[in-house]
Amino acid sequence: MVCPWITDLERPVCACATCEWDTATDTQKQAAIDWATTILWAATGRQFGLCPVTVRPCGWRDCAGGVEWFGAMWQGSSWIPYIWDGTWYNAWCGCDGACCCIPDCSVRLEGPIHSITAVTIDGVLVDPATYFVYDYQWLTRVKDNGCWPFCSDLNVAPGEGWEVSYVRGREVPAPLLWAVGVLACQYIKLCQNAEGCRITNNRIISMSRQGADYQFVNFSELLEFGWTGVAEVDQLIAAYNPYGLKAPLLVLSPELRNPRQVTWP
């Protein structure tokens, strides 16, 4: 999901000084920014953007002789083969051997977590000094401050029960915010049929003046890498996504037991 990169309808950074931005309507400005943001978000591999979200976490709870862990429940026989932090075990999932690198109280949120806005339990705000984030995904309670609820009541109205409001995603680099301004300005020109629109004119690769013959870059070649035809914008796309990936890669190393890192605050 793409979230807004720019919320101010004033002339974006590096939008051309003499472009038609100042005479465009607010609707045209918003459309140009949204269009440019969507194109650059997708072209750079869908890896940037900050989205505010509110969720109801799924914690731990005992159930009928087993344990429910983020929606997976074990019951019956306690001897179960499983993998934890890259090591295979053949024992009950709560054995001591699998818990040496696990906080006493932690719950996983969809990440990456950029920052925590608020944590509330039954409408009461939890002191931010009593929790922190590991590895951009684990909301962890400081020891001796209790633990998170075993089970979140999903039947109560919003604002009640256990809720976490946080900002998810990676901050947009400043050069890409600059590129949004450049590209949005060109979309304004295109919308108003103004002269000098670089989105349509920058695709010429050869020209014959006497015969007025023009040869353009095939548009499908631009789409293959998510390029726009605006040179400085495409340079940034190539820099942040040189292999034209459609989404960030995920690499798992089950043989490694990685150390934890505090990533917020």
pLDDT at 90: 63
Cβ atoms within 10 A of the Cβ of 45, count? 19
- What is the pLDDT, as a whole number, of residue 210? 64
pLDDT of residue 56: 92
How far, in Å, CA of 110 to CA of 125, rounded?
21
| Residue of 76 and 227 predicted with greater confidence | 227
pLDDT average, residue stretch 1-9: 86
pLDDT range class, residue 20, cuts 50, 70, 90 = confident
Query: For 141-152, how does the pLDDT look when each residue is reduced to its tens digit (9 = 90+)?
Result: 998 888 898 777
Residue of 119, 143, 114 whose CA lies nearest to 52: 114
Average pLDDT over residues 29-33: 92
Evaluate the CA torsion angle 233, 234, 236, 240 in order and state its sign. Answer: positive
Residue labelled with tokens 């999901």: 1
Match 């920058």 to its residue by tokens.
202
- CA–CA separation, 128 vs 116, rounded Å? 9
pLDDT band per the 50, 70, 90 thresholds, residue 70: very low
* Contact between 174 and 184 (Cβ < 8 Å): no
Q: What is the pLDDT averaged over residues 181-205?
A: 72
pLDDT at 81 over 70: no
Q: In what order do the strands lie in the sheet with 72-74?
A: 60-63, 66-69, 72-74
Query: What pLDDT sits at residue 21?
Result: 83
**Which comes out higher in pLDDT, residue 255 or 48?**
48
pLDDT score at 31: 92
Burial class from Cβ neighbours inside 10 Å (0-12, 13-18, 19+) for residue 184 reads: buried
**Is 262 within 8 Å of 231 (Cβ atoms)?**
no
> Average pLDDT of the chain?
78
Q: Residue 4: left if φ>0, alpha if ψ -120 to 50, beta else—which one? A: beta
Sorted by sequence, the CB contacts under 8 Å of residue 256 that are 6+ apart come out as: 86
* DSSP letter string, 53-67: EEE----EEEETTEE
Does residue 167 carry a pLDDT above 70? yes
Of residues 201 and 169, more confidently modeled: 169
Q: Specify the pLDDT at position 19.
A: 67
Tell me: the pLDDT tens digits for 100-136? Answer: 567 788 898 998 999 999 999 999 999 999 999 999 9
pLDDT at res. 75: 44
Rounded distance between C-alpha atoms, residue 104 and residue 30, angstroms: 47
| Percent of the chain with pLDDT strictly greater than 90 | 35
Tens of pLDDT, residue by residue over 198-236, are 665 555 555 566 666 655 556 566 666 677 878 889 999
Euclidean distance between CA atoms 155 and 135, whole angstroms: 30
Q: What percent of the chain has pLDDT over 70?
A: 67
Question: What local confidence, expressed as pLDDT, does residue 67 receive?
Answer: 47
What is the average pLDDT across 81-99? 56
Question: How far, in Å, CA of 102 to CA of 95, rounded?
Answer: 12
What CA dihedral angle connects 197, 198, 200 and 202, to 10 degrees? Answer: 150
Range from 37-41, 59-63, 75-79 that averages highest in pLDDT:
37-41
